[in-house]
Amino acid sequence: MVSFDLSELDAADESHFVAHTTEKVRWVWVYAGPGHPKTIEVSDRRAKKRLQEDRLKEQAVVNGKKWKADDMSVDDAKEEIVRIATERLLGWHLEDVNTGERLSESPTLDGRAFPFSEENARAFLREPRRVGVLNKALEWLGDEASFTPRSATPSGGTLSAPSNSTDTKKGAPAEIA
With beta carbons less than 8 A apart as the criterion, state whether 164 and 176 touch: yes
The reported pLDDT for the residue numbered 5 is: 87
**Is a pLDDT exceeding 70 seen at residue 78?**
yes
pTM: 0.76
The reported pLDDT for the residue numbered 158 is: 34
Total domain count for the chain?
A: 1
**Is a pLDDT exceeding 70 seen at residue 83?**
yes
Q: How many CB atoms lie within 10 A of CB 116?
A: 16
Instruction: Give a yes or no: residue 83 inside a domain.
Output: yes
With beta carbons less than 8 A apart as the criterion, state whether 142 and 148 touch: no
Instruction: Give a yes or no: residue 175 inside a domain.
Output: no
- CA-only gyration radius of the chain, Å: 20
**Is a pLDDT exceeding 60 seen at residue 98?**
yes
**Start-to-end C-alpha separation, the chain:** 46
The reported pLDDT for the residue numbered 7 is: 85
The residue ranking higher by pLDDT, 21 or 175, is 21
pLDDT band at 150 (very low <50, low <70, confident <90, very high): low
Instruction: Give a yes or no: residue 151 inside a domain.
Output: no
- The CA distance from 98 to 89, in Å, is 25
Residues of the domain holding 131: 12-146
Instruction: Give a yes or no: residue 170 inside a domain.
Output: no
Across the range 164-170, mean pLDDT stands at 39
Could you list the beta-strand ranges (E) of 9-122. 14-21, 25-32, 89-96, 102-103, 108-109, 112-113
Whole-Å CA distances, 169 to 28, 42, 106, 137, 159: 14, 23, 22, 19, 15
Average predicted confidence (pLDDT) for the chain:
84
